[in-house]
Amino acid sequence: MPENTVTREDLEARLKANPFAAWMGLSILSLDEEVLEIGLVWKEDMIANPEARNTHGGILAALIDTAADFMIAAKVGRPVPTIDLRIDYHSAAGPGDLRAVARIKRLGRTFSTAEAEILDADGKLIASGRGVYFTAAAQE
């Protein structure tokens, strides 16, 4: 894996400038050459079902996509378009902050694959998934 080309500060600035990421309360918890961790600040508007009070699967998908994309951004210089996304839902997420852990599966000149998993505050695996990203867009 090549070295990161973006500092944590620059990546954080890009994340904060992304309105939906800001709405989700996303922030970078850690970044090294292999792993990016992003935290989400839970809120009532994220609920899917008023009785079960579980977090909407779309929020989980958005968090996985953002974390995977930003790990690629750390390598290629900026977030790149998502071509497709696949999410597995493993456990319902009750109210509470979440954490996504992202890694690159393969970094390519044209396309790249990255994956992320979401953990709750107890470390329980909530969801995991992958996106394919159009890395060539970073050269445009």
Element (H, E) at 5: none
Q: Which of 61, 81, 63 is nearest to 72 (CA)?
A: 81
> Smallest gap, in angstroms, from Cβ of residue 24 to a second copy?
8
Question: For a second copy, which stretch binds (CB under 8 A), given 2-10, 34-42, 51-59, 96-104?
Answer: 51-59
Distance in angstroms (rounded) separating the CA atoms of residues 76 and 78:
6
Alpha helices in the chain (DSSP H): 8-17, 19-23, 57-76
Residues 76-115, interacting with a second copy (CB under 8 A)? 79, 81-90, 92, 105-106, 108, 110-111, 113
Distance CA 134, CA 126 (A): 27
Count of residues in contact with a second copy, rule CB under 8 A: 47
Provide, rounded to whole angstroms, the least separation between the CB of residue 74 and a second copy: 17
Q: Are 98 and 119 in contact (CB under 8 A)?
A: yes
72 binds a second copy (CB under 8 A): no
Site for a second copy, rule CB under 8 A: 17-23, 44-50, 56-59, 61-63, 65-66, 79, 81-90, 92, 105-106, 108, 110-111, 113, 125, 128, 130, 132, 134, 136
